[in-house]
Structure 1
């Protein structure tokens, strides 16, 4: 078993969480290998090398960190093709969002309990399979995601927050949101969707938010798609019509609680794929920069076994 850890996750507690989880696994006779590196790219290269040339069968890869680490590990497993599909994914959450763990009911900030869930799944019935979102960018890159792709006001806040490295934590995102509220204007979306029944449709619509959800929440519990499932081979396309600043702020409590989906200004549809174009919009997947539109987004049904 391999634990791939972001040492900086959980305010620098990533390695501590990994060792605590590894201790539980060792008690039950496993010999976990902890992989850590100074940056994510180096960590993924270590993981790929270990999976390509294993010294022993790899029973699982456990992502220790937040949704960004999970996204990266998913990309490695999917990228290895059939070899990666045979290796289940485990989670020891210790990031800021942990939305995939939240959706799957995995204990957060409790590495011993998360390791216990992994052990029970290893020795129990076959684990459930997780759909994985796939984004193909205009420059030929492919990005995978487990939770949500955001391409609207929420993504703009994320993009601006990343330009403010001197601020940390919630303050960085609050400052970014205040700036984006001042700049608020409708976005011009052009969409080509394939719906659940396989019908292709095109649409040109203005809006403030456009998210593609594999799971129910993102951003640390924002329940953008409360009915989303990660095992149905579909994504939920959630759009919010143009709103003023006051109405958008009034909508936020409903978004947090997942009560927004029946409001007149919100559209929800289940899709197999979307071609998305919106001038000036940079999309984020699992809280990480995916790239500017145009983008082609679809879902890989049951791409990875998940020990949850």
Structure 2
């Protein structure tokens, strides 16, 4: 039990992992209260109301925000807390859980995640980098990866599918998208360098390591190096793309001749025929500008 009672806001996504973990949020709140924390719950019927409730709860003052769910909930927490001294805790209960993976948190068993959080609450919160993406007048922070290209198109297709419910939906969408996909033309600007015109299957701007529930597109990425990692897959055949993608899960694709990595503090990405997703959330059609924000978020790790 904490030596002095600390206040925690617990934000719950009732649709976490398509409803498979509906009981996790209440159990997190119950366990934290049993450990002596002053717990308030933020749970609303839709995403917009939940974001508003979380920001309001944080504005009233708290010693930490705990989000229960997947990468969407992690993104909600990042955007509510980035640039503040209030730490973020994550109990991963979603489908992909890529930000939890990048942080080294349990990502397959929510109860293991809760046990880890209880220990982390007794330690000092750790600063990590975030990335800020600008899209028109919109500014959104993310923790893991922004992508524009083949994988973003797969996300678009998967989001339109009603079945199956679960991680296999992404795999099915990937196979279907492959049938019609072609390389896109991009204009890529790194820091203050000259714009570069190129064709690519996809371009990602990574703060963390993975997308799509463990696809380790940038296995060498670090959350505390003050840098973004730009990942480019140059044009290859569809057959070769199918050969490369399984290697991405293991992070063994980094030596493939069609793969390129560049580190940056700022990135501008333009295209007339591509959309961007950040940690699974749709940002919109390019162009976008991304910059790293070093040590801008404190997390219970």
Structure 1's unaligned 5+ residue stretches are none
Correspondence for 1:116: 115
> Are the counterparts in 1 of residues 91 and 117 from structure 2 also a CA contact under 8 Å?
no
Distance in 2 between the 1:164 and 1:17 partners? 26
Distance in 1 between the 2:174 and 2:89 partners? 33
- Are 1:41 and 2:48 counterparts? yes
Correspondence for 2:129: 131
Aligned length, in residue pairs: 294
**1:17-53 C-alpha deviation (Å, 9 max, x unpaired):** 1222223222321121121111111111111111223
Correspondence for 2:235: 242
Which runs of structure 1 show a deviation greater than 4 angstroms over 4 or more consecutive aligned residues? none
Correspondence for 1:74: 78
Deviation at 1:252, TM superposition (A): 1.2
Pick from 183, 188, 200: which aligns with 1:186?
183
**1:156-175 C-alpha deviation (Å, 9 max, x unpaired):** 11112222336533454344
> Are the counterparts in 1 of residues 158 and 173 from structure 2 also a CA contact under 8 Å?
yes
> Are the counterparts in 2 of residues 24 and 112 from structure 1 also a CA contact under 8 Å?
no
**1:27-83 C-alpha deviation (Å, 9 max, x unpaired):** 3211211211111111111111112234xxx111011000011112211223xx5xx
Correspondence for 1:176: 173
**1:108-162 C-alpha deviation (Å, 9 max, x unpaired):** 34344323333333322x3221211111012x11121111101010001111222
Deviation at 1:228, TM superposition (A): 0.3
Pick from 238, 262, 271: which aligns with 2:255?
262
- Are 1:146 and 2:150 counterparts? no
> Are the counterparts in 2 of residues 21 and 114 from structure 1 also a CA contact under 8 Å?
no
Cα distance change of structure 1 residues 165 and 15 upon mapping to structure 2, 3 Å threshold: closer
Question: What SS does structure 2 have at the residue aligned with 1:247?
Answer: helix
Cα distance change of structure 1 residues 166 and 221 upon mapping to structure 2, 3 Å threshold: closer
RMSD: 1.7
TM-score by length of 1: 0.90
- Are 1:18 and 2:25 counterparts? yes
